Amino acid sequence: MRGAFFRTLMELAERNERVHLVVGDLGFGVVEPFVARFPNRFLNAGVAEQNMTGIATGMALSGKVVFTYSIGNFPTLRCLEQVRNDVCYHGANVKIVSVGGGFAYGPLGMSHHTTEDIAIMRALPGMVVVAPGDPVEAEEATRAVGAHSGPCYLRLGRAGEPTVHMRPISFELGKAILVRDGYHVTLISTGGLLSLAVEVSEDLARAGYRARVLSMHTIKPMDTEAVLIAARETQAVVTLEEHSILGGLGGAVAEILAESGTAVAFKRIGLPSTFCCKAGSQAYLLEQFGISREGVLSSVREVLKDLRGFSPKRCKEKGSSAQQ
């Protein structure tokens, strides 16, 4: 995703001289092409994310489209007051880009585990929150937040995320992407776990269940309609995120279902509200919390097993009638 972001940022900068990049003294392997092409539109603020955010706000208020970029928590939590008071309060055209969401920087320990950022950023007034599911979505998300007037948070994986979309996609902020259709259960994923959701849907298909997969790349504003349609047309809704289950995708979907009065089996799969005191690879840390192909499949099967009166045939009839 990181490479897709920078390729697209270069395209935006080629077409729009207002596009600027401010970084917190990192990422030079991917940043250098931008610096070489647009030296007058690049600034390294140093290891001073509060200053980085304040500078970006001032530039944005003078007519620039400014992208800030750093690892995980640094452009968000470390400078949260500046994001809230400077960027959001003034509705500044600042695009906050965080690379390494979740456990992407797992070997560096808890300080680099980005597991509460979505909840915090979506609580800020005026902030758009986007977490693309694969490199294709990352490209489109970069274009979308660049075109949006106002504060945006773009949460990226680190590198090596598999491409899920093999065809061109229709990407719109606030509109989920239907990756696979189904009528037994809906898997709603955000961020880099989209490929895992697809893998689990394939395993369910071999067991006779058709799973709908939605890529909820925009957490704020949420695609309420897609959630409610899924709740009406499938027997269960399961959210999947590399983030705390509090306040992120799962919390947002739960709010929609509760406030609409929709009765549907629902489960959040994510991280508990606790610090992970282990260090290791992203896959290793996710597995510690049951976020693996086997772990997620087991959780979804438990949801389906516990449904009263669950009937694949009835689900099929329900799904067919809803699609007519």
How many Cβ atoms are within 10 Å of 162's Cβ, its own excluded? 12
Contact call for residues 248 and 221 (beta carbons, < 8 A) = no
pLDDT in tens, 15-44: 999 999 999 998 778 899 999 999 999 999
Per-residue confidence (pLDDT) for residue 324, from 0 to 100: 33
Quick check: pTM over 0.85? yes
CATH fold for the domain made of 177-323: Rossmann fold (3.40.50)
3 state DSSP class of 147: helix
Query: Does this chain's domain 2-156 share its CATH topology with 177-323?
Result: yes
pLDDT at site 28: 79
Report the alpha-carbon distance of residue 277 to residue 279 in Å, rounded.
Answer: 7
CB atoms within 10 A of CB 36: 9
Is the pLDDT higher at 115 or at 306? 115
Residue extents of the structural domains in the chain: 2-156, 177-323
The string of pLDDT tens digits covering residues 272-300 is: 999 999 999 999 999 999 999 999 999 99
Let me know if domain 2-156 sits in CATH 3.40.50.970. yes
**Which 3 state secondary structure label does DSSP give 178?**
strand
pLDDT by residue (tens digit) across 179-218? 999 999 999 999 999 999 999 999 999 999 999 999 999 9
pLDDT band for position 308 (cuts 50, 70, 90): low
Report the mean per-residue pLDDT for the chain: 93
Q: Taking Cα atoms as reference points, which of 274, 281, 243 lies closest to residue 107? A: 281
Residues 289 and 272: beta-carbon distance below 8 Å: yes
Question: Could you give the maximum distance between any two Cα atoms of the chain, in Å?
Answer: 65
